[in-house]
Amino acid sequence: METYNIPEIARNVFSVGSKDWNCRMFDSLIPLPEGTSYNSFLVKGEKKTALIDTVNPGFEEELAVKINMVSDLEKLDYLIMNHAEPDHSNAISFILEKAPNALFVTTEKGVKMAKLYHELPEDRIKIIAEGDSLDLGGKTLRFIEAPWLHWPETMFTYLPEDQILFTCDFFGAHTAQGIYDEDIEDLIPFAKRYYGEIMMPFGKMGAKALEKIKDLDIKIIAPSHGPIYKDPGRIIGPYAKWTAGKTENKALIVYVSMWGSTREMVRTIAETLLQEGVDVRMYDLAVSDIGDVARELVDSRAIILGVPTVLGGMHPVALYGASLVKALNPPAKYGVVFGSFGWGGGALKQAGEILAPLKMEIVGTHQVKGRAKEEDLKKVVEIGRELAQKMKA
Ligand SMILES: Cc1cc2nc3c(=O)[nH]c(=O)nc-3n(C[C@H](O)[C@H](O)[C@H](O)COP(=O)(O)O)c2cc1C
């Protein structure tokens, strides 16, 4: 007999998803130092039962066992989909097969996205829209469209009787640890990392979603990754700051250096900025966790990129880092680029082209042939001081 912990987060509301303790990479892109969870919630009303979101490939059987421990999967009435990404939607076909009377419930956009990944029985689709609700008997599920968090079809589900907001990826964190937010002291850095990796490019949509839910009475936030918030303010507060693009007096330095020339320049600007009272975070992209970089991008006021030339362009690792920075669209106001080359150069030009679409003012650039000389490092210090002044203003 398998043993499972099935938290009852409110009366007749069960957390039936899975913990993926050892997963170390997500979306073939994001490192997961503490694994993750795929949260799925079963809501039992007096008349009807609904499942909100499902689980990642490989966890379907566990989901079925857990549902059957607290209910009867065969008699499930509704399968609600807040988001079509397979880590939450993968078990849709599995569940619809095991629960022959269950209706698949989502928005019109949700159906379109789900059909990209699953074959859905047409006669079992129930399309809902903003403000619609389902009566389960003593429990109501109300739907709130929250598009682009982080795919076009995303929505939230609200359970007014228990004041629970099911937000899928929004407010999520990649960690398998804990059940409730109170279990993890350093949860917000994890949530911030997740925000940087997944939500930051859609910050404006995030701000709109916050505005939409601001008058809801929320006692519990139940996201689909990481712990459930019994203290919603603990995550809504930081999200208000992050989605507004508020920055700190902090410079994020990301660089690559093969023989130390670029490293000497970024180390010099780091020391200058620290002298000037600027907080500094520095990551060598060749050995760093890109999730840490994403976390620091969320509220850094300046980004400093150090990149040597390799084969006529940027070092490939720095190219990857710079492309990611551009795609994540951080709120940084100021930028600086340093580079080193041996003969023809090319990295600095390419870095400028990549970062151009960001709305950062480039405060300075400096490139050296080989190692930086005394006058080069003086120039780096000058750029650092000018940057610090601008950042304080
Ligand atoms: C694999 C490799 C490829 C390079 N390709 C170029 C190049 O195409 N053009 C150039 O000007 N320098 C090139 N260089 C020279 C480096 O850009 C130069 O050594 C630079 O000072 C390295 O800076 P770093 O010590 O910060 O890595 C290359 C160096 C290496 C190791």
What is the whole-number distance in angstroms between the Cα of residue 332 and the centre of ligand 1?
29
Locate tokens 């006669």: which residue? Answer: 123
Cα distance between the two ends of the chain: 64
Q: What is the ipTM of this complex?
A: 0.99
What is the b/e burial string over 88-120, where b = at least 16 CB atoms within 10 angstroms of the residue's CB?
Answer: bbbbbbbbbebbeebbbbbbebbbebbeeebeb
Strands laid side by side in the 8-10 sheet: 8-10, 13-15, 41-44, 49-52, 78-80, 103-106, 125-127
Mean pLDDT of 154-159: 98
Task: Give residue-wise pLDDT tens across range 15-40.
Answer: 999 999 999 999 999 999 999 999 99
**Residue 260 Cβ < 6 Å to ligand 1:** yes
Q: Going by CA atoms, what residue is nearest to atom 17 of ligand 1? A: 341
Confidence bin at 1 (pLDDT 50/70/90):
low
The C-alpha atoms of residue 21 and residue 56 are separated, in whole angstroms, by: 13
Q: Which atom of ligand 1 is nearest to the CA of 306?
A: 26
**Residue 342 Cβ < 6 Å to ligand 1:** yes
**Residue 316 Cβ < 6 Å to ligand 1:** no
What domains appear along the chain, each with residue ranges and CATH number? Answer: 8-243 (3.60.15.10), 252-392 (3.40.50.360)
**Residue 372 Cβ < 6 Å to ligand 1:** no
Q: Which atom of ligand 1 is nearest to the CA of 262?
A: 26
What is the whole-number distance in angstroms between the Cα of residue 308 and the centre of ligand 1?
6
Mean pLDDT of 306-333: 97
**Residue 100 Cβ < 6 Å to ligand 1:** no
CB neighbours of residue 186 within 10 Å: 9
Indicate the Cα dihedral angle 310, 311, 316, 319, nearest 10°.
90
What is the whole-number distance in angstroms between the Cα of residue 336 and the centre of ligand 1?
20
**Residue 49 Cβ < 6 Å to ligand 1:** no
Q: Going by CA atoms, what residue is nearest to atom 12 of ligand 1? A: 342
Q: Which atom of ligand 1 is nearest to the CA of 258?
A: 27
The sign one gets for the Cα dihedral 266, 356, 363, 328 is negative
What is the whole-number distance in angstroms between the Cα of residue 341 and the centre of ligand 1?
5
Structure tokens at 155: 């929505």
pLDDT, mean over the chain: 97
pTM: predicted TM-score of the whole model, two decimal places = 0.96
Report residue 13: phi and psi, to 5°. -125, 115
Residue 245 gets the label, from left (phi > 0), alpha (psi -120 to 50) or beta, of left
What is the whole-number distance in angstroms between the Cα of residue 259 and the centre of ligand 1?
9
Q: How many CA atoms lie within 13 A of 92 on its CB side?
A: 29
**Residue 257 Cβ < 6 Å to ligand 1:** yes
CA distances to 107, 288, 356 from 55, rounded to whole Å, are 19, 29, 39
CA distances to 17, 79, 347 from 43, rounded to whole Å, are 13, 10, 55
Confidence bin at 393 (pLDDT 50/70/90):
confident
**Residue 312 Cβ < 6 Å to ligand 1:** yes
**Residue 345 Cβ < 6 Å to ligand 1:** yes
Q: Which atom of ligand 1 is nearest to the CA of 343?
A: 11
Coarse DSSP helix, strand, coil percentages of the chain, rounded to the nearest 5 percent? 35, 25, 40
Contact 95, 73 (CB under 8 A): yes
Mean pLDDT of 332-349: 97
Percent pLDDT > 70 in the chain is 100
DSSP-derived 3-state class of residue 117: coil
Task: Give residue-wise pLDDT tens across range 278-291.
Answer: 999 999 999 999 99
pLDDT above 90 (res 142): yes
Which residue pairs, CB below 8 angstroms and at least 24 apart, start in 108-111? 109/147, 109/152, 109/153, 110/81, 110/84, 110/153, 110/155
Confidence bin at 2 (pLDDT 50/70/90):
confident
What is the whole-number distance in angstroms between the Cα of residue 316 and the centre of ligand 1?
12
